[in-house]
Homo-oligomer: A and B are copies of this chain.
Amino acid sequence: METATHTQSARINPKIIVPFVDSVRRVFATMVGVQTTVQRPHLKALAAPTYDVSSIIGFSGDIVGSVIVSFQKEAAERLASAFAGMSITADMPDFPDAIGELANMIAGGAKKHLGTLASITVPSVVIGSGHVIARLSDVPCIVIPCQTPVGAFAVEISIKQIKPARSNQGGAQ
């Protein structure tokens, strides 16, 4: 649905993106010990597929929507292992907990800098290659592609602010 380039850039609000980019860098550097290269954010086409393992965090309150952290399967296993300090494969019960916790830290870290009162849910982790996660069509989805030495992942942000920021970040919408 997003076709024109000017529409894309107009819709990518740096006040939303920057806290997530910072949070991804911080979580992966400190908690996983892996260098992450963050690539240029872009708008996602409606219902394009994700990677193989996706952790979904819901937002409610002044911000509504969801944030998905989606990994190539091998990257997910290797990053979960680095995070947990032990070998974790996708068939182990610890796997969704580790992947969910990474997403939780990314979303929780970003939330603090969004300047609004929002709650985040516990993560739901979807495992299955070729799955598609569709959000409600009135909220655009911004993808932050990320590269690590062990594979790719992406942070997909599909949230909208329904009340203005409250803190001294100031400014409406």
Contacts and interface: CB of A to CB of B under 8 A. Distances in A.
A131 interface: yes
B93 A122 contact: no
A66 B124 contact: yes
This chain: how many copies in the complex? 2
Nearest to A60: B119
Interface of A: 1, 46-47, 56-61, 64-66, 68, 93, 95-97, 100, 119-128, 130-137, 139
Contacts of A68: 124
B131 A131 contact: yes
Which of A58, A60, A66 is most buried by chain B, counting CB atoms within 10 A of its CB? A58
Contacts of A132: 126-128
B136 A123 contact: yes
Contacts of A64: 121-122
A153 B69 CA distance: 27
Given A58-B60, A136-B100, A126 B119 contact: no
Contacts of A97: 136-137
